[in-house]
Amino acid sequence: MKKNRLVDSDNEYGKIPEGWEMTTIESLLGKVKRLKKIQTTEYCVEGNFPVIDQGKGFIAGYTNDETIVYKEDLIVFGDHTRCFKYANFPFACRANGTQLLITGKPEKMPEILLFFYCKECWFEKL
C-alpha cells in the first residue's frame, strides 16, 4: 500500500497528506436553488417521492408532484430540531425550518463525506 507523504499544514493541526489543503466548511458549501415548498397538509401516505422535513423521522410523507422534487444528493438540516439527514434519492422538502446543503467542490468534499463530517464533528456537539 502506497503511503502519502506528509507535509506541514502551517497551522495547529500539524502534518497533512501531500496534496490536501486546510479550509473551512463554509468555503466548500454551494447554493441550492429552492423549489416551491410542500405544506404539511399536502403530505400523502403513499406517493412517488418522499418528503423530508426537519422532524425526527427520516421521511415525513409522500408527494406525486414532480415539480417540487430535488434530484441531486443533498444534506437536509433542521435549523430548529437540529436533525441532520442525507438524501441520495429524489425527494421533496418542506422549506420551513430546513436548510439544504450541497458541496460546491465535490471533487474535494463529496456530499456524503460532508454529511458524516458535520454529523460527527459539528452537529452532534450542539
- Side chain identity at residue 3, one-letter code: K
Q: Which fold has domain 25-125?
A: Adenine-n6-DNA-methyltransferase TaqI; Chain A, domain 2 (3.90.220)
Residue 121 · residue 62 · CB < 8 Å: no
Instruction: Write down the pLDDT at residue 61.
Output: 95
Give the β-pairing of 91-93 and 49-52.
parallel
Distances in whole angstroms, Cα of residue 52 to Cα of each of 7, 19, 42, 46, 65: 42, 37, 13, 14, 14
Percentage of residues of the chain with pLDDT beyond 70: 94
Domain boundaries, the chain: 25-125
Interval 13-35 mean pLDDT: 84
Residues 51-92: tens digit of each pLDDT: 999 888 999 999 999 999 999 999 998 888 888 899 999 999
